[in-house]
Amino acid sequence: MSPKILTVGSAYFSMDMDIPSIPPAGGSAKVKNFIRYPDGTGIATAVALEKLEAQCMLCTSIGADSHGKMIYKFLAGYVENLGGVHIEKGVSSGTKWTMTDMDEGKRTFIFEGANLNLTAEMVEEAYACCPDAVIVNGDMPQEIVYTAILGATTHQIPVLVDLRGKQAARLPVDQFGDGTILVMDQANAQRYCNMRVQTVEDCLKACIALAGKVKAKYFIIRLDGKGAFAYNGKYYYFVPNYDFVPEDLRGGQEYYNAALLLRYLMEGDIRMACEFAAVAETVAMLRPGGVSNLPGYEDIKQFIIDNELDPKLLV
């Protein structure tokens, strides 16, 4: 039977705009391209898990507005159990606006909206689905992250905690348990450890520092553009990224987390899980369409065969 995974994360309605330049105060600019789509770590993780043939229970909060209805309709096309998706009346759904201009790059504005209405009680109730493991996204309010991790520790099940990006919650050191897989990006590793993290040697020093503060089973630091460093308190592994030009970055990191956790649940081998996740993320980012076009196991299998990768990666 496929594993049942509880994921706690954000839900947004995103709008991306391409403009020639940022107008001055009081000015305006014509939009070249405009797309809108359901977004957020919770949504992307839930769809990734379902694409990888797991049973997913998503715990998140959306508004009862038009954006919330579109988010719910989108999720219903992928996720069977939507009992943990809470619809808040009188509250607007979380929204992201991203403007990309030719001269100064990308700017993102975030309205958290209904994401702030998710409560600790809602997270606790979600554990009634009796999950085999949990994925906690650190872009949620600190209390939500704490409650989700504590729930996994109480139920003695593995939990993958994703701490990346500027929104990542502060480390809930006292809540981590023996089954925790901590995944963090380079910037947060530097922030939490107060040291430079750019090389494999830096990663080892950072993980040793983290291990002295945080109770976790595995520490994984993702070096930008290089690969993933995994440490279990005794041994370490470095799994390099594949060299490719991504077609679409949206949903790739959540797909990595889903693939890593599911492969780890199958074999208990964190190195093989990281290697499989690196392949899975590559396949996901080579496809256009973001979360709405994430690959399945057969797509990953075909990529492994076509590129003559390690046969052990095959599920």
State pTM to two decimals.
0.94
Q: Is the pLDDT of residue 160 over 80?
A: yes
* pLDDT score at 176: 79
When mean pLDDT is compared across 157-171, 207-221, 280-294, the lowest value belongs to 157-171
Q: Is the pLDDT of residue 173 over 70?
A: no
* pLDDT score at 314: 87
Percent of the chain clearing pLDDT 90 (strictly above): 73
CATH, domain range 1-22+31-119: 3.40.1190.20
When mean pLDDT is compared across 9-13, 91-95, 97-101, 111-115, the lowest value belongs to 97-101
Q: What value does the mean pLDDT take over residues 277-281? A: 96
Domain boundaries, the chain: 1-22+31-119
CA distance 175 to 196: 26
pLDDT band at 178 (very low <50, low <70, confident <90, very high): confident
Task: Identify the burial level of 9 via C-beta atoms within 10 angstroms of its C-beta, where 0-12 means exposed, 13-18 middle and 19 or more buried.
Answer: buried
CA distance 176 to 73: 34
Q: Is the pLDDT of residue 43 over 90?
A: yes
DSSP letters, 153-211, are HHHT--EEEEE-STTPPPP-GGG--TTEEEEEEHHHHHHHHTS---SHHHHHHHHHHHH
Q: What value does the mean pLDDT take over residues 22-46? A: 89
pLDDT band at 71 (very low <50, low <70, confident <90, very high): very high
Q: Is the pLDDT of residue 246 over 90?
A: no
* pLDDT score at 169: 64
- What's the farthest any 2 CA atoms get from each other in the chain? 59
* pLDDT score at 213: 83
Bigger pLDDT: 17 vs 60: 60
In this structure, how many other beta carbons lie within 10 angstroms of the beta carbon of residue 48? 31
Bigger pLDDT: 29 vs 305: 305
Q: What value does the mean pLDDT take over residues 201-211? A: 92
When mean pLDDT is compared across 14-28, 124-138, 243-257, the lowest value belongs to 14-28
